[in-house]
Amino acid sequence: MSVTDPISGLVFTELGHEWGHGTPSMPGHDDVLMWRSVKHAQHGVMAHRIRMVMHSGTHLNAPIHLIQGGDGVGAIALDRLFGNGVVVSIPKSRWDLVEVADLEKATPPIGEGDMVVIVTGWHRKFSDSLEYFGESPGLSKSAAEWLVMRKVRLVAMDTPQIDHPLATSLGLHRGGPLMNRLPGKYQEETGRDPRQDHPEWNVAHKTLLEAGIPTVENVGGDVEEVLGQRAAFHALPWRWLEGDACVIRFIAMTDPANSVAIESGTAV
């Protein structure tokens, strides 16, 4: 549930899934491993050790993830990670694409320089399942190019990857399929060839990252509470200069007037 600050009236809303032991992991990635190296009963204090792929749960991807020589998570300019933007509802079914037309008619309108959170409804399916990882919608190449033209600062989606799963190594790209049944299932149920429908590898994601636009995947939490609203967002990763990705606490901040609480102007 959202929390209201009693002094400012600002409403803080979680946009991330719970993270920890059992967090659904991308096929081909190791699970999150956690253990207590120091325990209350034995030592009077607790400390965890963690072994993980950083692309787990609600996480932010840096340009270096797909762009050689790109910025790591700790080198991304802070004004790309904290600021104003929109949460837009674009419901999609399995294997759909978010297209330019969807973005153009989104409410509130996506403005130049916004942080953009795209909610397809897929966050409700977050689980270790063929459906969540293999049948999710994705962002089309042209939609990614449209967002670059709008000079947006960040793009977040409630899906396990920015691209359609068949445009990733879950399908027939780059040593795939990591989900063995996926290409055949897609062709059998749609009558279409996945190679022809999705010929380019991670093209939408690469388009965004090449333009310096960080991405957030697996948006969830209480995101439905802020659908169709403008908000200020907090998406800060670790200051890890070479990092390709980082789990984040993703937060939306709104005020009672449903306007953005971070106003432009000069401090006095």
pLDDT digits (tens, 9 = 90+) for 210-224: 999 999 999 999 999
**Residue 36 counted as domain residue:** no
- In this structure, how many other beta carbons lie within 10 angstroms of the beta carbon of residue 3? 12
The answer to whether residue 177 is domain-embedded is no
Residue range of the domain that includes 70: 3-18+54-163+202-254
Residue 173 maps to a domain: no
Instruction: List alpha helices for 87-150, DSSP H.
Output: 100-104, 130-134, 141-149
The percentage of the chain sitting over the pLDDT mark of 70, rounded to a whole number, equals 96
What is the band of 262 on the pLDDT scale with cuts at 50, 70, 90? low
37 found inside a domain:
no
Instruction: Report yes or no on 155 lying in a domain.
Output: yes
Question: Cα–Cα–Cα angle for 158, 60, 1, nearest 5°?
Answer: 50
- Per the domain annotation, does 140 fall within a domain? yes
SS3 198: coil
**Mean pLDDT on 144-156:** 98
Mean pLDDT of 223-240: 97
Residue 112, token pair as written in the block: 């130049």
Number of domains in the chain: 1
pLDDT at residue 266, as a whole number: 45
Residue 268 has pLDDT above 60, yes or no: no
End-to-end alpha carbon distance in the chain: 35
pLDDT at residue 1, as a whole number: 81
pLDDT value at 240 more than 80 = yes
Global confidence as pTM: 0.94
Q: What is the CATH number of the domain that holds 156?
A: 3.50.30.50
Let me know if residue 261 belongs to a domain.
Answer: no
* Any domain includes 68: yes
